[in-house]
Amino acid sequence: MTFRPFPDVTIVEVGPRDGLQNEKRIVPTEEKLALIELLKGARLPRLEITAFVSPKWVPQMADHEEILRRTPAADGLIRSVLVPNERGALAAIAIGVEELAIFTSASETFAEKNINCSIAESLERFEPVAALAREHGIRLRGYVSCTVECPYEGPIRPQAATGVANALADLGCVEISLADTIGRATPESVDAMLSAVKASLTAEKLACHFHDTFGHALDNVDVALGHGIRVFDSAISGLGGCPYAPGAAGNLSTLPLVKHLEEKGFSTGIDIERLLQAEEFAAGLRQGNTEIQAGDGRRVSG
């Protein structure tokens, strides 16, 4: 698989994990793998493919080991998996992975409801994960939820997002994704948050993760571009939302994001025609009316 080198903007496709984790229908493993293959075919260079979390809490990700095993390494592809603790990290590393992703929040209440601990406790929990990433030469990515607004606490001070982002950088995260978890961010609030975070961290170390719940996502992308951000998370067909964030349905959709960026003159290295195929397939996952390629070439319903 060959990717166009050095795009102006990098898309981190989170559909297979963040997009599917909250779907009511348990998406079969074969359908997840088919989606991943379509995304690879569209030349997306970074895929968040699964989460090594307890099936008790996120049953949609119960097949995480099989998904990782059956998504082989490829030149130019970074496979990322979300891990909540050292145990998850060890399991992912044993199979082989290019990136571990850890996650916390700028909101104490959201952290308690989402990961059952305080922000400080979450950072302490991630110390052994960071040590494992360093030991094995694996990228470590950090997520900060609720950087602008929390469903429980309301608006979040930019200084709170800054403090957590700095803590993740100190742990060794090579990239920190700043998330508008419930889609309430406006260009003004994104500008204030990024201005605060960039006082201590460079734009090259940051990514943005917007939800389009209220239709502001692409406007917020433009603000982030103005701040020098060149990495954005998105989910094919707008899949996803957080189960612990009421009203958060709707990650920024990959296809509109790519079109928006390229209309503004930024290259992404993504094959639009192949991305359209992935879009159509992903849209069918919710209804269970997908069609996938069998090993012998037959088309079978999913």
- Segment 260-278, tens digit of pLDDT: 999 999 999 999 999 999 9
Which CATH class for the 10-301 domain?
alpha beta
- Are the C-beta atoms of residues 98 and 139 closer than 8 Å to each other? yes
pLDDT for the residue numbered 257 = 97
Cβ atoms of 209 and 229 within 8 Å: the answer is no
Give residues with Cβ within 8 angstroms of 208, minimum separation 6. Answer: 177, 178, 179, 180, 190, 220, 221, 224, 229, 231, 232, 233
Phi, psi angle pair for 221, to nearest 5°: -60, -45
Q: In this predicted structure, what is the pLDDT of residue 103?
A: 96
Q: Using one digit for the tens of pLDDT, what is the confidence trace for 238-264?
A: 998 554 455 445 799 999 999 999 999
What does each C-alpha distance from 237 to 252, 271, 275 come to in angstroms?
Answer: 8, 15, 10
Of 152, 212, 193, which is closest to residue 19 (Cα–Cα)?
212
Domain boundaries, the chain: 10-301
| Residues 160-183 as b or e (16 or more Cβ within 10 Å = b) | bbbbbbebbbebbbebbbbbbbbb
Which one is catalytic: 146, 173, 208, 242?
Answer: 242
* CA dist list (Å): 272 to 257, 259, 262, 279: 11, 8, 10, 10
Rounded Cα–Cα distance for residues 59 and 212 (Å): 25
Taking alpha carbons only, the member of 1, 3, 35, 5 closest to residue 240 is 35
Q: What is the pLDDT of residue 270?
A: 97
pLDDT tens string 30-85: 999 999 999 999 999 999 999 999 999 899 999 999 999 999 999 999 999 999 99
Average pLDDT, the chain: 91
pLDDT per residue over 162-219, tens digit each? 999 999 999 999 999 999 999 999 999 999 999 999 999 999 999 999 999 888 999 9
117 as an active site residue: the answer is no
pLDDT at 4 over 70: no
Distances (CA, A) of 115 to 104, 112, 122, 123: 8, 6, 8, 11
For residue 110 the two structure tokens come to 């959201």
d(CA 269, CA 255): 13
115-118 CB contacts, 8 Å cutoff, 24+ apart: 115/84
pLDDT attached to residue 240: 82
pLDDT at 123 over 80: yes
Q: What is the model's pLDDT at position 163?
A: 98
